[in-house]
């Protein structure tokens, strides 16, 4: 059996590499495999993200707030009230961000004791209040809320191939500021949306 010359092997390897590079460059890549699956909704509307249902129940503005300690915003706090209802088993929810009109992401803050995550249960809805410290200049152009099971991570790495709720909060420039330095807005810690439901379930 004749051995293949080394120079011929080298040519075959180079040809294979060139063909692979051409395929990656020319053939369209399936980008959506790495993307999250966005499910759009509105304030007050229940959004089904397969593993849970989430409803944004209210949006408020505050200059100062208090959950477990006091905090004054660098710009203004956008305070978002939401309810999560898991489908199967208890679920940890770690993703919450605001996206402004320039497509910049603003993560939920833990200042003042505000929660940056939530828990969801199939037995009853769980409420959570998210706080975002953003520049007041961004309010007029509108903000979009993204809520998901996984946190944003590096370039959305923890939300790839997963469902994410996308809720348009709209322009907030005309909304009243409820929490001030003299009277901070009180932020409730996460818990059952209806405490009576938990008592009935354990009765």
Global confidence as pTM: 0.76
Hey, which bits of the chain come out as E strands? 37-42, 46-48, 52-66, 70-86, 91-93, 95-99, 105-107, 118-120, 126-134, 143-148, 163-170, 177-179, 185-186, 191-192
CB 143 within 8 A of CB 172: yes
Q: What would the pLDDT profile of 66-87 be if each residue is shown by its tens digit?
A: 999 999 999 999 999 999 999 8
- Residue-wise pLDDT for 155-173, tens only, equals 444 444 578 999 999 999 9
3-state secondary structure (DSSP) of residue 20: helix
pLDDT band of residue 46 (cuts 50, 70, 90) is very high
Pick the CATH number of 36-192 from 1.10.357.10, 2.60.40.1240, 2.60.40.1180, 3.30.2130.10: 2.60.40.1240
């Amino acid at each position: 059996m004749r051995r293949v010359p080394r120079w011929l092997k080298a040519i075959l390897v180079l040809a294979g590499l060139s063909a692979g590079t051409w395929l990656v460059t020319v053939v369209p890549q399936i980008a959506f495999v790495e993307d999250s699956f966005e499910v759009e909704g509105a304030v007050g509307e229940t959004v089904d993200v397969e593993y849970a249902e989430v409803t944004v129940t209210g949006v408020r503005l505050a200059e100062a707030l208090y959950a477990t300690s006091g905090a004054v915003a660098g710009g203004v706090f956008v305070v978002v009230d939401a309810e999560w209802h898991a489908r199967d088993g208890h679920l940890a929810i770690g993703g919450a961000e605001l996206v402004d009109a320039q497509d910049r992401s603003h993560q939920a803050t833990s200042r003042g004791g505000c929660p940056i995550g939530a828990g969801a249960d199939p037995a009853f809805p769980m409420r959570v209040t998210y706080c975002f410290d953003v520049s007041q200049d961004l309010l007029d152009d509108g903000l979009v809320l993204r809520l998901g099971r996984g946190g944003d991570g590096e370039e959305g790495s923890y939300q790839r191939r997963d469902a994410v709720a996308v809720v348009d909060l709209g322009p907030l420039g005309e909304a009243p500021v409820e929490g001030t330095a003299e009277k901070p807005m009180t932020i409730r810690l996460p818990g059952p949306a209806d405490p009576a439901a938990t008592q009935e379930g354990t009765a």
